Amino acid sequence: MPPSDQFPQGLVFVGSHDCNIYCFNLDGNAPLHKLLGHSGAVCSLATGQFGTLVSGSWDKTARVWSGQKCMLTLEGHQGAVWAVALMPQQGLILTGSADRAIRLWRAGACEKTFTGHEDCVRGLAVLSTKEFLSCSNDGTIRHWETAGDCLHVYKGHTSFIYSIVALEDSDFFISCGEDGTVRVWTVRGDCQQTLRMPCPTVWSVTLLQNGDIVAGCSDNVARVFTRYEALKASPSEIRAFEEEVAKCTPAPQQLGDIKTEDLPGTEMLKERGKREGQTILIRDGAQVSAYMWSMDQQSWNKIGDVVGTPDGTGSPGSGSKVMYEGKEYDFVFNVDTDDNSKPIKLPYNVNEDPWHVAQRFIHQHQLPQDYLSNVANFIITNTKGVTLGAEAPSQDFCDPFTGGNRYVPGSSRGISIDVAQNGNTSPGEVKHLPYTGKWIAFDIANTSGMLNKLKEFNLQVPPENIVRNDGDLDALKDLVECRVDTLEESHIRTLETLLQWPSEFIFPALDVLRCAIRSEAVNSLMCGGAGSSQLVARIASLIASPAPANRMLALRFFVNMFLREAGQRLANREWEKILKVSSEFGFNGNKNTQIALGSLYLNFVLLCNSEAEQETNTFRSQWLVRSMAEVISRLSDPEAQFRLLLALGTLLHGNRDLCSLASRLNLADTLSDLCTRGQESVKLVQCAQQCINYVFDNATP
C-alpha cells in the first residue's frame, strides 16, 4: 500500500493459504491486523487509491476492502481468481480466473466478460485508462481494450506465464513464467529481450519506480536488473550469474529428442538470428549446448549444456529416467484436475516421500489443501512395486481427484508416427517421404468410461433422445471393441438415437462411433447406406462445435472411417465437405485435435494417390496442397505438423505440377521458418527439409 499520513512508509499486505490477508508495516514482524472473509487461499492482491485493496481467492470470488472492512464481494467466476487489477480513474476492477475468463467490474456489478485465453488467466497489467494486458497458462499474452476487443496476441514464452507488469502509459511491459525466463516486450511490437534465469521457473516479476526489473525465482532468489550503468553489479557478480545460467539445463520441452550427429556445429553461431529469444542447439564435439539470440547484443548467448537421459538418446525409455524442468524423475504423471484445464505435470522419484511430494504439488499449483490425501494416495497407488529407475507407467492409471480411471475423451494422443528407419544410416539418408504405411487410425479407448458416461447423460438428454433400455447401451461394448460381425436391430436403433443427442451431451456417443466405425459391419451400414451423406453433415457440424471434445472426436471419426472400403468411398464422394470444415476449425484446438487434423489430411492423401480418375484427382490434389500450405502455419503441435508434412510431401513426391504450385505459394519459405521453430523435433525438421527439396528440385520454371 502506498505511503499515507498514518503510515509514511506504506503497508505490506500478504495473502495466505489460511484464507486470511495479513497487514504489516516495515518496522515489525507481527501483523497489524488481518482481513477475514475469504473461504479459500488468497492468491492475488492489488492496491488502489485511498487505502483500497482488492483480493482474489480460490473461493472463486474477489473482495474489495477499505481499511479493515470488506466493502464488496465480486461473484461470478467459475474458478479461482488468480489475478486482480484496478483502473482507479474509471472506478473499474479487473479479475482473471482459472475459468479462462477476465471480468470487468464497476460498483460490484460485472459489466463485461473477456474471453480468448485457452487456459487459466494468471496475471493482469493495466496499460492506460482504456487498455490492459493479460497472461495465461496457454503461453500467450493478450492486449485488450476495455470496450471488449482483443488488439494483439503476443507469443514467445514456451510454457505457462505466471506474472506480467507494466508502467502505465509506457510502451514496455515485462512477463515471466515456467520457461525460466523474464521477457521484455513493446506494446506495439514483439519480444525485445529475453533474460534467462538459472532456475526452472520465475514466479513473479515487478518494476521498481526507476524502471528496474525484479524477478522472484524458484531457487528462492530475487534478482534485480537495471538499465543504469551506475547500478549494475560488479563484473565478477555478472560473470558468476552468467555461469549459473550456463549450468542450468534448459527445460525439456525446448529440447525434445536429441541426436548429436543431426545438430549443426559451431559455425552456425556466425549466422544472424531471426528473432529475439530464438533458441538453437549446437554440437561442439561430444557436447551439445543451447544458445539464445539477443537482438539487443546481436549475438548468440550460451544458456546451458544439454544433458540426455541415461541411454544417451535424449528420450525416456526402459530403465531410464524422465526429464522434467531440468531434473530426472522416475515418473512424470499427467494429472487432470477437472474437465476444463490442461493436465498438470506431477514429477516423482520413488525414493521420495509421497506425502511430501503431494504437498509440494498442491502449493506449486495452488490446489485446495483437501486434495493432499488424494494426491498422495494416487502416487502410492500408481508406483506400487516399482524399483528405482523403473520406466514411467502408461497413461491408464487412476485419477487422484475422482478416485477412479476418469473418462476424458481423447486423453490419449495416440502413438507418434516415426516412419524413418534410421538404423546406422547418416542423417542425410533418413527419409520420411513418401509415406507408404497403412491408414492412420485412433484405436485406444476407455470402454467402461465412455459407457458409464453414456448412461449418465442418458438421464439428462431430452425425452425424445433417451435410449430406453440400459441393456442397449451395454451392448455397445462389443461395437466399441469391434467384436460384432452382424449388427442387430437394437444396435442400429441405438446408434441412430445417439447421433441425435444435443451437442453438450454427444461427446461419449461420438467416442463410441469413433471406435465402432472401424468394424466392417458398422462401417458398411453407416458409410454405405442411404443416410451416409446426412451422417457426414452431422459429424461435420460437430467439428464446427465450440466444444473441444466434440471437434476432436468428430475428426477422429472421419480418420477411422478410412479403415474400410465403404468409408473410403464415402470420403471420396464427400471429401470437399469434410475437408473444408476440418481445415477451418481443426487447427483451433488442443494438441489432440490438431493431431487428428494432420491424420485426416494424411489419410486423404493416401486415398488421393490410390484413385485412378485423373481429372477429379488433379483438382483435389491441388486443393489439398493449397489447404495444407495454409493450415501448416496455424498448427502448434509438432506431431500434428509432422503428420501434415507427411501428407504434403507424399502428395508432392514426383509431381512437378504440384511442386510448381507449392513454389508459387511460397511454401518453401513457410517450411524454412518451421525448421527454425521446430528444432525440438528432429523428424519434423527432416521431413520439412525433404518437402523443401521436392519444391526446389521439381518445380517447373
540 and 648 within one domain: yes
* Spacing of C-alpha 214 from chain mean position: 27
Q: Indicate the residue type of 656.
A: R
| Helix 489-499 vs helix 520-528: crossing angle, to nearest 10 | 60
Please report the pLDDT score of residue 389 as a whole number.
30
Q: Among 669, 686, 679, which residue's Cα sits nearest to residue 256?
A: 679
Residues 6+ apart with CB under 8 A from 468: none
Please report the pLDDT score of residue 691 as a whole number.
93
The CB density around residue 358, as the number of other CB atoms within 10 Å, is 24
Q: How do residues 224-240 score in pLDDT, each as one tens digit?
A: 999 898 999 999 999 99
* pLDDT greater than 70 at residue 696: yes
Q: pTM for the full model?
A: 0.47
On whether residue 6 sits in a domain, the answer given is no
CB 219 within 8 A of CB 644: no
112 and 260 within one domain: no
pLDDT band at residue 498 under the 50/70/90 scheme: very high
Written as nine digits, the cell of 225 is: 536488473
Q: Determine which of 28-32, 263-267, 476-480 has the lowest per-residue pLDDT on average.
A: 263-267
602 and 556 within one domain: yes
Is the C-alpha dihedral spanning 662, 668, 669, 673 positive or negative? positive
267 and 175 within one domain: no
On whether residue 273 sits in a domain, the answer given is yes
Please report the pLDDT score of residue 425 as a whole number.
32
553 and 487 within one domain: yes
On whether residue 415 sits in a domain, the answer given is no
642 and 557 within one domain: yes
Is the C-alpha dihedral spanning 422, 426, 427, 432 positive or negative? negative
635 and 505 within one domain: yes
* pLDDT greater than 50 at residue 311: no
Q: How do residues 524-537 score in pLDDT, each as one tens digit?
A: 999 998 899 999 99
Omega before 434 cis (within 30°)?
yes
On whether residue 240 sits in a domain, the answer given is no
> Stretch 41-69: mean pLDDT, rounded?
91
3-state secondary structure of 276: coil
Q: Among 463, 461, 440, which residue's Cα sits nearest to residue 567?
A: 440
Please report the pLDDT score of residue 136 as a whole number.
93
Q: How do residues 242-271 score in pLDDT, each as one tens digit?
A: 888 887 754 433 334 455 666 788 888 888
* pLDDT greater than 60 at residue 540: yes
pLDDT band at residue 156 under the 50/70/90 scheme: confident
CB 649 within 8 A of CB 694: yes
pLDDT band at residue 517 under the 50/70/90 scheme: very high
* pLDDT greater than 90 at residue 621: yes
Identify the domain boundary among 177, 204, 220.
220
On whether residue 358 sits in a domain, the answer given is yes
Average pLDDT, the chain: 82
Q: How do residues 405-429 score in pLDDT, each as one tens digit?
A: 456 666 544 445 555 433 333 333 4
% pLDDT > 90, the chain: 45
Q: Among 568, 572, 571, 593, which residue's Cα sits nearest to residue 583?
A: 593
The CB density around residue 407, as the number of other CB atoms within 10 Å, is 22
Helix (H) or strand (E) holding 95: strand 92-97
Which CATH number is 362's domain given?
A: 3.10.20.870
* pLDDT greater than 80 at residue 562: yes
- Residues 535 and 331: their CA atoms lie apart, in Å, by 43
Residues 6+ apart with CB under 8 A from 53: 1, 13, 21, 35, 45, 46, 47, 64, 65, 66
Q: What residues are paired with 46 via a beta bridge? A: 54
Q: Judging by beta carbons within 10 Å of its beta carbon (0-12, 13-18, 19+), is residue 423 exposed, middle or buried?
A: exposed
Cα-Cα-Cα-Cα torsion 7, 12, 15, 16, nearest 10 degrees, comes to: -100
CB 126 within 8 A of CB 132: yes
* pLDDT greater than 50 at residue 390: no
265 and 152 within one domain: no
Q: How do residues 350-385 score in pLDDT, each as one tens digit?
A: 767 677 788 778 777 777 766 666 677 667 766 654
Backbone angles phi, psi at 439, to 5 degrees: -60, 140
pLDDT band at residue 101 under the 50/70/90 scheme: very high
Adjacency order of strands within the sheet including 121-126 = 121-126, 131-136, 140-145, 150-155
The CB density around residue 659, as the number of other CB atoms within 10 Å, is 25
Residue 232: how many CA atoms within 13 Å on its side-chain side? Answer: 10
Residues 6+ apart with CB under 8 A from 400: 335, 371, 374, 375, 377, 378
539 and 609 within one domain: yes
Which CATH number is 212's domain given?
A: 2.130.10.10
Q: Among 109, 40, 51, 44, which residue's Cα sits nearest to residue 83?
A: 44
pLDDT band at residue 337 under the 50/70/90 scheme: low
On whether residue 199 sits in a domain, the answer given is yes
> Stretch 135-147: mean pLDDT, rounded?
93
Please report the pLDDT score of residue 168 as a whole number.
65
Phi/psi-derived region of residue 553, left when phi > 0, alpha when psi is between -120 and 50, beta in every other case: alpha
On whether residue 188 sits in a domain, the answer given is yes
- Residues 426 and 161: their CA atoms lie apart, in Å, by 39
Residues 6+ apart with CB under 8 A from 30: 24
CB 667 within 8 A of CB 695: yes
Choose between 365 and 690: higher pLDDT. 690
Q: Indicate the residue type of 167.
A: L
Q: Long-range CB contacts (< 8 A, 24+ apart) of 272-279? A: 272/298, 273/300, 274/676, 275/190, 275/191, 276/156, 276/190, 276/191, 276/192, 276/193, 276/194, 277/156, 277/181, 277/183, 277/191, 277/194, 278/676, 279/250, 279/254, 279/303, 279/679
402 and 471 within one domain: no
Please report the pLDDT score of residue 553 as a whole number.
94
3-state secondary structure of 164: strand
328 and 292 within one domain: no
Helix (H) or strand (E) holding 454: helix 447-458
Choose between 334 and 382: higher pLDDT. 334
Please report the pLDDT score of residue 382 as a whole number.
62
Q: Among 313, 332, 294, 61, which residue's Cα sits nearest to residue 191?
A: 294
- 295 is in which domain, residue-wise? 252-305
> Stretch 62-74: mean pLDDT, rounded?
93
Q: Count structural domains, the chain.
A: 4
Which CATH number is 587's domain given?
A: 1.25.10.10
Please report the pLDDT score of residue 396 as a whole number.
39
- Residues 54 and 578: their CA atoms lie apart, in Å, by 49
Q: What residues are paired with 468 via a beta bridge? A: none
Choose between 30 and 298: higher pLDDT. 30
Please report the pLDDT score of residue 169 as a whole number.
63
Sequential DSSP letters for 379-434: HHHHTTTPPTTPPPP-S----TTTSS----TT-S--PPP-----TT--GGG----S
80 and 196 within one domain: yes
Q: Indicate the residue type of 153.
A: V
- In the chain, helix, strand, coil percent, each to 5? 35, 25, 40
> Stretch 609-634: mean pLDDT, rounded?
85
pLDDT band at residue 587 under the 50/70/90 scheme: confident
On whether residue 312 sits in a domain, the answer given is no
